[in-house]
Structure 1
Amino acid sequence: MPEHRIGTRKDFEAAREELLAQEKELTRRGDELARKRRELPWVPVEKDYRFETGGGTKSLADLFDGCSQLLVYHFMFGPPYEAGCTVCSSIADTLSPNVIHLRARDVTLICSSRAPLDKLLSYRERMGWSFDWVSVGGSDFHRDLGFQYTEEELRPFLEGDVPPTVSQMAQLSGTDVRGYVTEGPGMSAYALLDGTVYRTYVTTARGLEAAMAYYGLLDRAPLGRHEEGEQTHWLRRHDEYGKT
């Protein structure tokens, strides 16, 4: 535990009051951004994407499963992976218990990946998740959204200094760096209106932190995320902590 400024209760309460005003302002700003997300123009999805599911081949409209809204988490689990991405797996731990609550608000939440369906469902069983998981197979669903990359696009990255965390995550997924970074994480949102599917929102990178509950909690712990200078990532799948 590093050294830290020590103060009196009066010092704390004064500093906390000042911080609380800033936290409230951040909340109001977050509400404003949420409103602006909802005001983005909706784009009709014109491609006839097909997905392999536990109930057979389905269209994008079928995936709404009776709701008018659909959230898709684009889970990094490519064809050569032996296990899903560790970071995506930590996100899925947050997504799974929220499926029932989202459905109560007319939202279906699923995950999609490019690996074969049997791999996905086997891994889902291992992890104990309850969300529907679909395989996009050979379709361009992930590619069209910017969550799948070609070898040509990746060449500058692969020929440079690959960060140790990337090599670590590739190894934890049972593939090489090239196979790992061909995939990208993301979330996309859709609305179904009068039989037409509209894309309403897409995000990736730190835009996914809303689904990484542990970071919000760590931000309130004394040491915060405490990741500075680490050469490997601390995250593990929830059944791997404590293993050597």
Structure 2
Amino acid sequence: MNIHNHPVVSQEEWRAARKQHLANEKAFTRARDKLSAERRALPWVKIDKDYRFQGPDGKLKLADLFGDRSQLVIYHFMFAKGWDEGCSGCSFLSDHIDGANQHLAHHDVAVVAVSHAPFAEFQAFKRRMGWKFDWVSSEGCDFNYDFGVSFRAEDVAAGKATYNYEKSDGAEEELPGLSVFYRNEGGEIFHTYSTYARGLDLLVGAYNYLDLTPKGRNEEQIMEWVQLHDRYEEKASSSCCHRG
């Protein structure tokens, strides 16, 4: 719908239209609750491989990433060896992690970002972005490959590379995703869920705000307008808080 030629009606007509849309919103909420229940009911896969990561204090096992919690959410952050900056889309999503983590950390959930680059290579970028969440390296282990966010050249050549559960040409060196794990009282670890591509939208709170506005996401391609948060031009006059 053209925002510049939008229908304008009386308050009574608007309320009637809003109530009709509210019925659709409630149906969507019930459908989403059902989908979430189906997600929780998915079967699990036991993790037997000895994945090793690099953190600020040296080597870590997958179990170490849980801390004292039973649930672990890993964000597969696109940052490959030799990169100076992380992916702008991953950074957009990651800007939302610390706020959520203030609560998740107290509700039996650990959130950790994992990248394929050596640990030292993304520390300056993390400091620049001001992030506090845990971020470790999977360099030297199969983790990124096994969870479908990095691709070996031989798999690409053989047509075996997959992303988001479909065959991929592996043209991208790194791709984003999210994986969830559970650790039981016996210390066994299970993979419970992974999602990629548009499945990550749910984690981007800014999109939820935009979806409520007249212009919506206002993008022709996903995240085409997004920049690293320290690269947006300051527009002091755009906010009421800056009015003199």
TM-score between both structures, scaled by the size of structure 2? 0.85
Q: Aligned match of 1:39 in 36, 41, 44?
A: 41
Q: Aligned match of 1:225 in 209, 217, 220?
A: 217
- 1:221 deviation in Å? 0.5
Higher helix share: 1
> Structure 1 residue 211 and structure 2 residue 203: aligned?
yes
Aligned sequence identity (%):
40
> Structure 1 residue 202 and structure 2 residue 207: aligned?
no
TM-score between both structures, scaled by the size of structure 1? 0.85
Deviations along 1:152-173, one digit per CA (max 9) or x if unpaired, are: 6667xxxxxxxxxxxxxxxxxx
Q: What is the DSSP-based 3-state SS (H/G/I as helix, E as strand, rest coil) of the residue aligned with 1:122?
A: helix
- 1:149 deviation in Å? 2.1
Q: What is the DSSP-based 3-state SS (H/G/I as helix, E as strand, rest coil) of the residue aligned with 2:85?
A: coil
Q: Aligned match of 1:185 in 173, 176, 185?
A: 176
When residues 8 and 152 of structure 1 are mapped into structure 2, their CA distance, relative to the original with a 3 A threshold, is farther
Q: What is the DSSP-based 3-state SS (H/G/I as helix, E as strand, rest coil) of the residue aligned with 2:22?
A: helix
- 1:233 deviation in Å? 1.3
Measure the CA separation in 2 of the matches of 1:154 and 1:9. Answer: 58
> Structure 1 residue 146 and structure 2 residue 148: aligned?
yes
When residues 151 and 242 of structure 1 are mapped into structure 2, their CA distance, relative to the original with a 3 A threshold, is farther
* Contact 1:185/1:205 (<8 A) preserved: yes
| Corresponding residue pairs, total | 221
Letter in 2 for 1:141: F
> Structure 1 residue 234 and structure 2 residue 225: aligned?
yes
When residues 134 and 179 of structure 1 are mapped into structure 2, their CA distance, relative to the original with a 3 A threshold, is farther
Letter in 2 for 1:233: E
Letter in 2 for 1:64: F
Letter in 2 for 1:32: K
Q: What is the DSSP-based 3-state SS (H/G/I as helix, E as strand, rest coil) of the residue aligned with 1:181?
A: coil
> Structure 1 residue 29 and structure 2 residue 20: aligned?
no
* Contact 2:84/2:125 (<8 A) preserved: no
* Contact 1:110/1:132 (<8 A) preserved: yes
Partner of 1:161: none
Q: What is the DSSP-based 3-state SS (H/G/I as helix, E as strand, rest coil) of the residue aligned with 1:146?
A: coil
Measure the CA separation in 2 of the matches of 1:232 and 1:77. Answer: 17
- The correspondence of residues 68-83 of structure 1 with structure 2, limited to 5 A, is 68-83=70-85
- What's the C-alpha RMSD, in Å, of the aligned pairs? 2.2
* Contact 2:177/2:200 (<8 A) preserved: yes
**Higher relative contact order, structure no. (Cα contacts within 8 Å, ≥ 6 residues apart):** 1
Measure the CA separation in 2 of the matches of 1:126 and 1:232. Answer: 21
Measure the CA separation in 2 of the matches of 1:208 and 1:215. Answer: 11
